[in-house]
Structure 1
């Protein structure tokens, strides 16, 4: 019998940790049946914290095809790689992004094995299998499916098939899989996201089971809250065998015991018992650091320049505000900055401090960047030339791209949150307002607050919509506009436009003026980038930065002066020629 990975070996049902977290019980069974070998493979993983909150619980089932002697390898590879690799993906990624990346890579490997083998032109004898995977995270179930294994949900006494069989029937006796892992170079997955409820039961089954056990038998087997799910899975397999199944048989059952409510993921569970630090003075010794000076203090945090006594390097220590230490939302955003910085590898995003240092208080550590903020730089350089602006904007865009590829939105891009170091490298700082897809999924708390600074925020935020990468692009374009003109494209009107009609009435102010040498096509580039409708902006940051440096032909023709202004003589000559031709035509027509 094919066993599951280590987290699920042994046959006993496993419970997720208790508390205000997702709790589930899993049972499973797989049997070769009357066949000489088992081409099915099943497995699941229930991790401990913090991965339980950040990544969830994962189950997977694969079924090899009977015409292939190596499909059992495909099944085992599909399940083990999914369960191993999914939990190795970034905590910042959404479930869908992480799972699809992992399954796409597995599909590519399986397909390449077939292409490099003796049956490269006969996929029915290659490394091919079906796959159904289920990820339970916070209060949501995420389904991924290719092939004819099935996922069911037993809810309120009714059994519902959630997946669609990817099988094409040529006749009542002949059919083939229309979609499977390893069958083609490109993988097309079915995806669903469903709300979890305590008491829900999800069932994964291969065709050797569901074709020989009806819904009534499954419901009766799982009736009652105290059912041993491993025993129930065995009973369902035995029922299928008794009912004449000739195939391999596999079934997985997961019961939702509890769903978190009004809970946010504990990103820093290792710090949850640490006390708040005191206000620090210059030259004070603190947790292995020497405080050099206070950088600034606000109602939101106290920031210090400190010397790390172990590495003899300067770092920035940020301490939570005394007035907001009872606000859990504030503390989560406070800790988020270092959490994100630790997961981004870009020269254009600030870095976190060393992680191996034991902390006795609650604070964050980030690198010290010797330089000045863009706000300070603009005071010293009130009218930067276009090439300098382009260079700064392109570097900011690289930092934003590093965030976006990790499914993170900055959401508070402004001159105060950009720093230019002594070498001229531009870096993004202050990530406390960032939106992380994986963290948002892990939270059941719906926070309604504006994430950034009104003058730089995209219009969709003021309508209560969730931001996208185009929202960050809008903020970058506003920042570009401001650097070139010291103004804003819509003044202060964006924050007041809270309906679609009001946003359509927003009037763009040209960045052009008599004092600056700015090409007209640059104005058109900015106009598009700050369009109130995100669908009418640039789709990618790279498109915007490219058009800032290379004249877009569409904008050139749009901004080109009329012929009368460019060449009056040619205009009047052309008009005279048209009039002459008209007169000749009329004379000929009259005659």
Structure 2
């Protein structure tokens, strides 16, 4: 495990290169270690706007808290490792392991709808394996969406952005997550605390988005009225029969009605995973997430 060091002036140690992402909690840059030449990712606090200095300081501290949460996950291969924290031109930042690959959202945009059972099972199955380890640390990611998943060239998935993660069961004082993928219990304060079933809702949203190109309950539009349909009738009819029951159970409004944990989800995906040594699907994603299970035994 690398020791997380504190760097007063990041520019002395790292050359900041291209901006590669723009998130709610910070901007993501590609950077280079000036000593080793190694590429790293630099997550930089948003520039100060017209708001008070206290809010800007709080945002910097919140970014460092994200780094602390990520250090709890050191050793999980699919979570980028924190290398250092520091300050870059007055803004707090995290220096992280750079993950080569493409965002899942970009991979899917070129191929949706994705209905091949092996592809669907490989994407959701890999995320179940990752989340099993995250949840074992008593954390809830809270922001599962294709934008926060990287597909590496060999088909392995990485999960990024722990900025909204919370301790399971600990009361939350405000909404957390991204509209469309966030569970109903994330839409406001949750005095009883969020559970891993909030992440299962996000996974279910991703499954629906892949297969029928629609998020549940109105998705990115205004919050749907309670009692409204999960999907329009034509989208429900288009759900692949292999995953229809599972997907709908994952996005139930009441957390206690969803699968108990990601292992339960994975067990329902297991029959559709590619077998070791099997051939690639005829219309595969690029990079191809099925490659992982064609070359590795499942870990759940």
TM tier relative to shorter chain: 0.7 to 0.9
Question: Following superposition of structure 1 onto structure 2, how do residues 179-194 of structure 1 map, counting pairs within 5 Å?
Answer: none
How far, CA to CA, are the matches of 1:532 and 1:347 in structure 2? Answer: 32
Q: Given the superposition, is the C-alpha separation of residues 472 and 527 from structure 1 closer, same or farther in structure 2, using an over 3 Å criterion?
A: same
Q: TM-score, normalised by structure 1?
A: 0.40
Q: Indicate which of 110, 128, 134 corresponds to 1:380.
A: 110
How far, CA to CA, are the matches of 1:544 and 1:478 in structure 2? Answer: 13
Aligned to 1:308: 33
In the alignment, structure 2 segments of 5+ residues that lack a partner are 273-300
How far, CA to CA, are the matches of 2:137 and 2:44 in structure 1? Answer: 26
How far, CA to CA, are the matches of 2:13 and 2:26 in structure 1? Answer: 20
Cα drift, residue 339 of structure 1: 1.8
Aligned to 2:131: 400
Preserved CA contact (<8 Å) 1:287 1:360: no
- Residues 1:452 and 2:177 aligned together: yes
> SS of the residue aligned with 1:323?
coil
Q: Indicate which of 48, 70, 73 corresponds to 1:323.
A: 48
Q: Is the radius of gyration larger for structure 1 or structure 2?
A: 1
- Residues 1:434 and 2:145 aligned together: no
Q: Given the superposition, is the C-alpha separation of residues 543 and 341 from structure 1 closer, same or farther in structure 2, using an over 3 Å criterion?
A: same
How far, CA to CA, are the matches of 2:8 and 2:168 in structure 1? Answer: 27
The superposition leaves residues 108-163 of structure 1 with CA deviations (integer Å, 9 ceiling, x where unpaired) of xxxxxxxxxxxxxxxxxxxxxxxxxxxxxxxxxxxxxxxxxxxxxxxxxxxxxxxx
Question: Following superposition of structure 1 onto structure 2, how do residues 113-152 of structure 1 map, counting pairs within 5 Å?
Answer: none
How far, CA to CA, are the matches of 1:496 and 1:455 in structure 2? Answer: 9
Aligned to 2:266: 545
Q: Indicate which of 233, 246, 251 corresponds to 1:525.
A: 246
How far, CA to CA, are the matches of 1:415 and 1:374 in structure 2? Answer: 5
Question: Following superposition of structure 1 onto structure 2, how do residues 61-100 of structure 1 map, counting pairs within 5 Å?
Answer: none
Preserved CA contact (<8 Å) 1:338 1:365: no
How far, CA to CA, are the matches of 2:255 and 2:58 in structure 1? Answer: 28
> SS of the residue aligned with 1:365?
strand
Larger RCO (alpha carbons 8 Å, 6+ apart):
2
Equivalent pairs, count:
256
The superposition leaves residues 51-81 of structure 1 with CA deviations (integer Å, 9 ceiling, x where unpaired) of xxxxxxxxxxxxxxxxxxxxxxxxxxxxxxx
Preserved CA contact (<8 Å) 2:149 2:159: yes
The superposition leaves residues 253-288 of structure 1 with CA deviations (integer Å, 9 ceiling, x where unpaired) of xxxxxxxxxxxxxxx9x96x958x7xxxxxxxx121
Cα drift, residue 512 of structure 1: 4.5
How far, CA to CA, are the matches of 1:287 and 1:419 in structure 2? Answer: 29
Aligned to 1:363: 93
Cα drift, residue 529 of structure 1: 1.3
In the alignment, structure 1 segments of 5+ residues that lack a partner are 1-267, 278-285, 441-445, 552-591
Q: Indicate which of 328, 343, 346 corresponds to 2:76.
A: 346
How far, CA to CA, are the matches of 1:463 and 1:494 in structure 2? Answer: 17
